[in-house]
Structure 1
Amino acid sequence: MYAAIVLPAFNEEDSIGPLLREIRETIKGLPVREVVLVDDGSSDSTAANAIAAWGDDPSLRIIRHGRRQGQSRALLTGIRAASQDLIVTLDADGQNDPADIATLISSYAARQHRTSRMIVAGQRMRRQDTLVKRVSSRIANRIRASLLDDNVRDTGCSLKLFRRQDFLDLPFFDHIHRFIPTMMKASGVAVVLVDVGHRPRKAGTSKYGFWDRLWVGIYDLVGVRWLLKRQIANVELETVQ
């Protein structure tokens, strides 16, 4: 099975070029056949700098939203457009290390004989974020873990590998990108957690503040918990019948 990298980006003109050059070198020898960059309504030169960095190689595809629609919608756009069975996701800010793509792929390949319905999710080690981001993420992750009991320590890590169809089969909602392993586990997909690196942001600014990471995340938890309970209830009903 071959993979496509899906890369949502919003106003990352200074980060996208170096990142794409890294990705291009990293995927040599890996079963990656395309990169789908979703420009989520950027007001800067993100798309132009991506083209300049990648050149005329058709393995890079750029899709642009006319206005900003958020990371989850950008992911959905890219995954729908991807032509490969496997999807690799990472952030466009350069904090995810493209070298870890090989780790995700090898972890999937090592377990594929057991099941192809699998998500390999990265867990960031020694996070290189601001204190506000680390604290808000730590609080949100603890609350999420207590409510969802999914054993995922770092749900905010964007480095993931999964089957395209497994994602498209999920009920889509805004901010689903925060809960992909949880939702897939509930739908019967095996979850494999691997440690990955994390790097400081070298250019641009974070698109999320304290309230986005904490209160919005907690609000989403209520909806996800409700959705999971309904999914479990449906499975139990089918089993009884």
Structure 2
Amino acid sequence: MTGLSIVIPMRNEAGNAGPLIDGILAACDGADGLPQIEVIAVNDGSTDGTAAEVLALAARDGRVRLLGHAVSAGQSAAIHSGVLAARGALICTLDGDGQNPPEEIPRLASALIAAAPGIALVAGQRADRKDTQAKRIASKLANGIRSAALDDGTRDTGCGLKAFRREAFLALPYFNHMHRYLPALFTRDGWEILHLDVGHRPRGAGQSNYGNFGRALAGASDLLGVMWLVRRRKTARATEETTLP
């Protein structure tokens, strides 16, 4: 398995799907040193024209694929479905709302390709967020609590721009909202992490699928669960032996 698969979770992003995917293809076509790419949009139970927009792009460019959830299962489920279906050994993700600049994908992918074998995740961190003040404050508070509890060395786990090794990702424990804890989960499995500051831009169309209050309620139980997983991690790895010690 070779290549780079770009996975985009989407829910009611009909107004963003075309410009975003066109931007991804243009950014990757203009970059040197990238392997063959595919773009996988995962339609997470949308009730608008998201699927039709992606299918029109897929008819024009065979590198574009559409997966669908009959009902919305959440961002982590969409990412997981996309990675399972991916043909590439390397994965890049970004949000479907257009706020993650697709021009950042070659930077993240190139950093992972050049990284040492022990590095499995290159995590983007938004340097200048273009969100409302309420969302920035809520995110800063949540990131501070998470960082103190998990000591994962990451200031912004909510950034959708990430590049990682497919096999390593699929070995992680899956649960809803896991995408917010990838640095801690990769570290738990013995991998090293790289961080890159990335750009951010205002939402192109539509409305956010998340509310601060609902996210906070889910985040509290998720954080306790990840703390438990980290403490119960496997502490030994087997190596093949051919002679007696």
So what's the TM-score if we normalise by structure 1? 0.92
Q: Structure 1 regions of 5+ residues with no counterpart?
A: none
Matched residue, 1:91: 95
* Contact 1:137–1:213 (CA under 8 A) maintained in structure 2: no
So what's the TM-score if we normalise by structure 2? 0.91
1:182-213 CA deviation, whole Å, 9 max, x = no partner?
A: 10011011100000000011211011111133
Closer, same or farther in 2 for the Cα pair 1:23/1:54, shift >3 Å?
farther
Matched residue, 2:49: 45
Q: Whole-Å Cα distance in 1 between the matches of residues 118 and 85 of structure 2?
A: 21
Q: Whole-Å Cα distance in 2 between the matches of residues 69 and 145 of structure 1?
A: 26
Matched residue, 1:134: 136
- Of 99-108 and 134-143, the range deviating more from structure 2: 99-108
Q: Whole-Å Cα distance in 1 between the matches of residues 230 and 222 of structure 2?
A: 12
Matched residue, 2:111: 107
How many angstroms does 1:132 deviate by?
1.6
Pick from 174, 190, 193: which aligns with 1:191? 193
Give the match's secondary structure for 2:66.
strand
Matched residue, 2:64: 60
Paired residue type of 2:225:
G
How many angstroms does 1:32 deviate by?
4.1
1:25 to 2:29 alignment? no
Matched residue, 1:172: 174
Matched residue, 2:241: none
* Contact 1:143–1:218 (CA under 8 A) maintained in structure 2: no
* Contact 1:35–1:59 (CA under 8 A) maintained in structure 2: yes
Map residues 10-21 of structure 1 onto 2, 5 A cutoff.
10-21=11-22
* Contact 2:124–2:197 (CA under 8 A) maintained in structure 1: yes
* Contact 1:137–1:214 (CA under 8 A) maintained in structure 2: no
- The aligned length equals 234
How many angstroms does 1:236 deviate by?
6.4
Q: Whole-Å Cα distance in 1 between the matches of residues 142 and 215 of structure 2?
A: 7
Q: Whole-Å Cα distance in 2 between the matches of residues 23 and 91 of structure 1?
A: 12
